[in-house]
Amino acid sequence: MGKTKDVRAAVEAELGFDPLVDSADIKVMNIAGDVTLAGTVPSYPQYVQAAAAARRVAGVSGVHNNLKVGLPDSDYRDDVQLITAANNALAQNITVPDGVEATADDGNILLTGTVPYLTQRAAAEAAVSGLVGVRNVENDIDIAYVMDPVDVDLHVQQALDRSALVPDDSDVKSDTKDNVITLTGHVRTWAEHDAVVDAAWMALGVMDVRDDLQVTV
């Protein structure tokens, strides 16, 4: 009971400490390190940042982000304005290839198109996430590339071997099937976890990364 309370209190403190998060209307629930965030935040970047802040806390093994974005009236944009702003942001981002497009419905952006890298897919999402008027981003961009699973697994393993955040005795493994990488094994911290996931995301032709890693806290 004491540990449960300590983790919840620590997450609340971290949310309050983070200058990029308005935590006034965030509620934190914790069950044995499995943390749920509920309530509202005034922007989509704060929705993303709140989950990142919770993951930084020692003792947190998982984060469920159930926050809602309640835009202030001053940040409201109609869909035509938001679509124009989103597509301009995509066009101006050198990492996002041609053919990626954004539509919007009541502040909810939908991204579509085709790219060869997950990193490009992520770059498109990042390009529109910080726009005024965004409530949520649904990334429906496809990955199109014929890949060799053996080459992908080797690429990921070599990236992990190079990483300063992943120890030499790590038991993390990657297995690729149908353009999806499944990561298994144990990591000590969320920083190590993110380093492993980022390495998988950089592989050419990967459509998705299934995160089955266990954070040992």
Average pLDDT of each block of 10 consecutive residues along the chain (217 residues)? 74 96 96 94 95 92 94 92 97 94 96 89 94 95 72 77 81 82 87 85 76 84
Q: In terms of Cα–Cα distance, which of 160, 197, 163, 162 is closest to 181?
A: 197
pTM value? 0.67
Token pair recorded at residue 196: 């492993």
- The answer to whether residues 185 and 173 touch, using CB atoms and an 8 Å cutoff, is yes
Model pLDDT, residue 132: 94
Return the CA Rg of the chain: 19
What type of residue is 47? Y
Q: In terms of Cα–Cα distance, which of 33, 69, 34 is closest to 50?
A: 69
Domains within the chain, CATH numbers bracketed: 2-69 (3.30.1340.30), 74-143 (3.30.1340), 149-215 (3.30.1340.30)
Query: How far apart, in whole angstroms, are the C-alpha atoms of residue 166 and residue 155?
Result: 15
